[in-house]
A and B are shown apart, each in its own frame.
Chain A
Amino acid sequence: MSDIVKGFRDPQVAKDLVAEIHKAVEGFDGTMVLMEVCGTHTMSIYSHGIRQLMPKQVKLISGPGCPVCVTSIGYVDRAVALARRDNTIVTTFGDMMRVPGSTTTLNHEKAKGCDIRIVYSPLDAVEIAVKNPDKDVVFLGVGFETTTPTIAGAIVTADKKGLDNFYVLASHKTMPEPMAALTADPELQVDGYLCPAHVSTVIGVEGYEPLATDRNVPCVVTGFEPLDMLQGVLMAAKQVVAGTAKVENQYSRYVKHEGNPKARELMYTVFEPCDARWRGVGDIPHSGLQIKGEYARFDAEKAIDVDVEPPQEPKGCLCGEVLKGKIAPQECPLFRKLCTPENPVGACMVSSEGSCAAAYKYGIEE
C-alpha cells in the first residue's frame, strides 16, 4: 500500500479512535443519528466495516450523496430520447449507463445501436465533437460542485473553439440545500452531518454555517479514508453530546475554509442556481444549477427539441426513502429480491456509490 494512504488506514490509530468514540458517548442516553451525504463516504463505511465498530448510541445513515441516484427519471428519459435521434452521439460518465429510465436504459439503447460513449472527462466529449462535425454531441452533465466546474470548463472550451455541435444535458445539483431540507423533515432525525469531502474542496466550510447556526445541527467536513471517517464521527459525536452545533473541518488537509474560489468562478460563469428535482426527495428551491442564457446554445434541453416519454416511477421502489435515510437499503422489500445490481429497479442499486449497491456488495445482514 502506498505510504500516503497507509497512514490513514493505520489499524492501531483506528482502534484508538474507536475507543475514543465509545468513551465520548458513554452515558449518552438514546441514539444519535449521523448522516453522511456523499457516495464515497457510503462506500467507505461499508467497505471498511465501520458500522460494526460503532457504539450502540451511534447510528450512521446515508443521505442523498450520490449524484446518479438523485437524478430524476425524466432526465434519463430525455437522455434516451436524445440518443435515439439520428446523427447524435451521447457521451456520459459510466455510472449513468445502467440507470433505469421509465422504460429503458442507456445501456439497452446502446445495444440496440444508439451511439452512446463512456468518457472519463467532459473534455473528451468536446474532442469527440471536434472529430465529428457532422454530428450533434451531447454530454450528460450530472454531478455536484465537484464535477460541475469541469463541465463548465468543457462548455467554455467548446465556446472558444467555436463548436456548434456540442451540448450538455445539465442536471447539476448543489450541496448544502438538501441537507437543510432533510433537517426540516419532521419524520427524519438527523443529529449531525458528516459533510461531503470533495464538494467541500469547492464550496468550502462556510457553506454549512446556516445549518449549524440556524438549524442547530453539528456539521463536520470529513475525508474518505477510514481514519478520516472515524475522526469525523468522533468530532460530530462530541458535539452532539455537548449540545453544540458548529461547523468543523476534519478534512483540513484538502478543504480550505473558503473552498476553491477559482472553480466556483468558472462554475458560475456558465451556470446559475435554479430549483431542482431530487429523485426521492422532491423539489428543493435553489438546489440545482442550470446553464445561463448566454450559453443557452450549449444547453441540450433548450437547443434540441425531442419528444420525451412521460415519466413512470418504478413500482415498489423505495429509493426515495433510502436517499432520505428513512430506511436502510435492506429494509426495502425489493432489495436483493427484485432489485439487484444486475437488474436494478432504482438508481441507488445502479451507481457504484449508491447506498443499495454498497449494501449489496459489502453489507453484512444482521
Chain B
Amino acid sequence: MNNEIVLLGHGSGGKLSHQLLDDLIIPNLSGVPTEDQDDAAVLPMTGDRLAFTTDSYVVDPIFFPGGNIGDLAINGTVNDLAMAGAKPYAISVGFILEEGLSLADLEKILQSMKQAAEKAGVRIVTGDTKVVPRGKGDKIFINTSGVGLFEHEVKVGGSKAAVGDKVIINGSIGDHGMAILSSREGLEFEAPIETDSMSVNALVADLLKEFGDAVHVLRDPTRGGVATTLKEISVQSKVDITMKQTDLPVTPAVQAACDILGLDPLFVANEGKLLTIVKADVAEAVVALMRKHPEGEGACIIGEITGESEGKVYVQTAIGGRRSVEMLSGEQLPRIC
C-alpha cells in the first residue's frame, strides 16, 4: 500500500471506502470485526454524570518534532475530558482526507492515534471518513469527540479559584507552539524543539484521588497559552492571579526561539500541560505527587490567587516590575492544532 494515495473513491462509501476501512483504518484504530460494525457504537455505562467534548485538528505541518496530527487529536480530547475531572471512556474519530494524501502517511498517523489511545486507556469506538478533491482540504483534518465517566464526586471548574489558592503547572510552557513554528519552512532552529503533546489523564486521576475537593480548577492551556487560560479563570472566578516570571518553567530552547521571534512563551500553545489551582495547604504535596509522574516531572508552583476583582492577571517581572496579562489577541501562530 506504500506507494498509494488517497483517491476520491476512498470517500465514496463504496468498495474503495470499505477497502480503506478494512485494510487500514479499522485494524489500526479499533479492530472491531466486520460483523460488529453498525451505524452507532452502543456502550454500557455507570453513574449519573457524563463528560462530553469535541475538537477538530487542522495542524500544519501534519508531522512535527515529537508527534503528528494523529496523537495530537487523541491527546487533546483525552485531556479535555480529564480537565472536567472525568475518566476518558470512548472516543469518536472523523477524518477529512484530501485527495492525494499518501496512504503511508495516513497509516503513520493511524498508528500514532492507536498508541496514544492505548496509553490513555481510552477506546476509539466509532468514526467516519470523507475525501475532498485536491486543493479543497489540506492533507488531513481530524475531528475527535469523547465521552468520559466519573469515579468520584469532586466538582472542579474555572469559577472555583479562591483567594490564597496556588497555581501549579506540570512542566515547561510553550513547547508545542514553538515545535510547530520551528518545523515550518524557513524557520528551522539548530536545537529541535519537540511538542509536549501527551495525555495527562492518569496524572489528573491521581490528583483527584489524593486531594479531592482541595483541587479547585483543572485546565489545559492549549491555544492562547498559560496567559489566556489564567485570564479566563480569573474572569470566571472574579479573582486576581499573580505569577512570578522567575517561577515560569521555560526551556532554554523555547525561550531563545521566542526571543528571536518576539513571542512571549506565556501566550504560546501547549498540548500536554495541566494547569491546576489548589488550596494553598496542599500545594507542596500536589507538586510532589506530580513530580513522581512521568507527565509531571517538571511540576512547580507558578503563581497564586492574590485577591478578589473582576478578573486580572499580573506577572511580577524578573527585574521587579509588574505587568498585566490579557488574553491572546488575533492569531499568534495560525493552525497550531
Contacts and interface: CB of A to CB of B under 8 A. Distances in A.
A326 interface: no
> What secondary structure prevails in chain A residues at the interface with B?
helix
Nearest to A362: B323
A340 B329 contact: yes
B255 to A, nearest CB: 5
B187 interface: yes
A163 interface: no
A49 B322 contact: yes
Q: Interface SS of chain B: helix, strand, loop or mixed?
A: loop
A342 B323 contact: no
How many B residues touch the partner, as a band?
20 to 34
Contacts of B322: 49, 52, 364
Contacts of B259: 5
A53 B320 contact: yes
A48 interface: yes
A141 interface: no
Contacts of B255: 1-2, 5
A342 B330 CA distance: 6
B314 interface: yes
A341 B330 CA distance: 7
Contact of B320 (A18, A341, A352): A18
A124 interface: yes
A50 B262 contact: no
Interface residues of A, number: 38
Nearest to B312: A364
B329 A48 contact: no
A364 B317 CA distance: 13
A120 B320 contact: no
A227 B320 CA distance: 12
Contact of A46 (B186, B262, B318, B323): B323
Contacts of B324: 362-365
Contacts of A226: 317-319
B325 interface: yes
Contact of B319 (A14, A40, A353, A360): A14
Please give me the 9 A-B residue pairs with the lowest Cβ-Cβ distance, nearest first.
A49-B321, A341-B329, A14-B319, A362-B323, A49-B317, A49-B323, A2-B252, A49-B322, A226-B319
8 contacts: A5-B256, A9-B318, A18-B319, A48-B321, A53-B319, A120-B187, A361-B326, A361-B329
Given A9-B319, A53-B321, A364-B324, 18 more contacts: A2-B255, A11-B320, A15-B320, A48-B319, A48-B321, A49-B320, A49-B323, A51-B321, A53-B319, A124-B186, A226-B317, A341-B330, A342-B329, A352-B262, A357-B329, A360-B326, A362-B323, A364-B314
